[in-house]
Structure 1
């Protein structure tokens, strides 16, 4: 019963004064026939689409936007770490490029949004799933080691947040990865993140306390009904105020974003919870949405307890906080936290 109702892998401190570089080289614009997604996301002014080659030879899409605001004071510049954004299921790098990359670059941060393997314009492995917590975290680590020289803030949404949690655990736990495999971070922000124990707790709470909602979420995500049912797509990811033309556009992008599931959920749940980390080993922000249809309040609080922090719950936004009508509310919460690092 539990396996049938399991949600899919939905897109459910330290500063440095060292110079930041981007050795990535942009490639020529893809032709319409060269896109992996059936619909193409056109980048905004100041954004570049690049491809980072992993040790496997597979290439990972990266949308970048450099800091727009010039910073003359070198000390102040050193206090602005690069930001690397990790999406959840049915999303890709484009979901950050829409609003948050322009917002944070305008506040002086170099921004990188990654598309995990088999998502967006990234290559796909020869498998039935895109990867595991371990492989996704390793891909992020390789990108950071080779393309970013100063400690980064990782920001993960939904199941991307769970990947960030595993990455954080990997830095401190040498039983997980070899020494120095995962570069140090300046911080981690978990946005509407799946909690450390995974989504099974969410499933059972919804099943017993909100059976209708449990049915809707399972239909929307497990059966991928959000791809064809516009009202259900809105209820799952967005606020009721979302305009229909934007909703239809995001629905199309989400429908095309994931060629393979991020995880094998049965294997994933068997490997959870993520390993614990020493208190105060890294600064973590836990932020959720008051109107989140996927990650409930207890899931948000569980993540906060795990890291010993008080979670911030933003009113007036839904699960896709970075795309929703009031996207700037969550962005401002994160900006305020970044200014404390």
Structure 2
């Protein structure tokens, strides 16, 4: 039995992990999917009180989830999607987590590729400097481009209605400026050879975190002797953890955990 903490990224409610929780629990694991600081229990409540999340950045998020893991009191596998994947890498590098999976992760410091699709996906937030101190939601059309581009229009719209929430802009600004900030909170100890195993994934159709970006993150770990694997999801976009193909992603993670002896 393994303790697992699931961490979502921007614009998706923590409640969207429920199918993963049920699936992993059926395999004998103990699984939780905590909310971000300021995020409320339901999608509706979070949408109504968006300001509660405003101002939280990468360091605050990392400390929040680190505290949760320390409270578990057992070796824990952290599985994060998008910005959750960035946080998972930080927790692993700090030895807070025993192993980590970064599913199409937001770029850590040192990732240099900046594809046009990634810029366009981030523009709804980065386009206004004032959004750094705000919590911002995506419109249906913005969600379609950033998350649902590999899906039918109907499925993309359904996911937006069901799971989309406002999220703090600060982490996005911090990641965007990471390569120009010596003490960026997006920095990860990629040379740590004493950490546990890490799996990074990328989707060939992802606009928000293009495959090139995910592969660049993987390359940053080349100086570490610790296990750092990569898996490519063909034809999958940024919605891969919540759309009709989520189970394939979850089973890929489970297989990797078993292969690396962390299950």
- TM-score bin, normalised by smaller chain: 0.7 to 0.9
Deviation at 1:247, TM superposition (A): 2.9
Residue in 1 aligned with 2:17?
96
1:135 to 54, 60, 80: 60
CA distance in 1, matches of 2:162, 2:6: 18
1:277 to 1:236, Cα distance in 2 relative to 1, 3 A: same
- CA-based RMSD of the aligned residues comes to 3.0
2:39 to 119, 126, 129: 119
Deviation at 1:278, TM superposition (A): 1.9
Residue in 1 aligned with 2:133?
none
After superposition, residues 30-45 of structure 1 pair within 5 angstroms as none
Deviation at 1:191, TM superposition (A): 0.3
Residue in 2 aligned with 1:265?
173
Q: Deviations over 1:112-161 (max 9, x none)?
A: 0011112343898988412x322211111211222x23211001111111
CA distance in 1, matches of 2:244, 2:52: 37
1:103 to 1:307, Cα distance in 2 relative to 1, 3 A: farther
1:238 to 1:125, Cα distance in 2 relative to 1, 3 A: closer
Structure 1 residues without counterparts, runs of 5 or longer: 1-79, 172-182, 207-212
Give the structure with higher Rg (CA).
1
**1:82 and 2:8 matched:** no
Q: TM-score when scaled to structure 1?
A: 0.60
Residue in 2 aligned with 1:234?
144
**1:252 and 2:172 matched:** no
Count of aligned pairs: 235
Q: Deviations over 1:71-109 (max 9, x none)?
A: xxxxxxxxx311101111112211211x32222112211
Q: Contact (CA 8 Å) 2:77, 2:98: kept in 1 or not? A: yes
Residue in 1 aligned with 2:131?
none
Residue in 2 aligned with 1:291?
205
Structure 2 residues without counterparts, runs of 5 or longer: 128-135, 223-227
1:240 to 1:320, Cα distance in 2 relative to 1, 3 A: closer
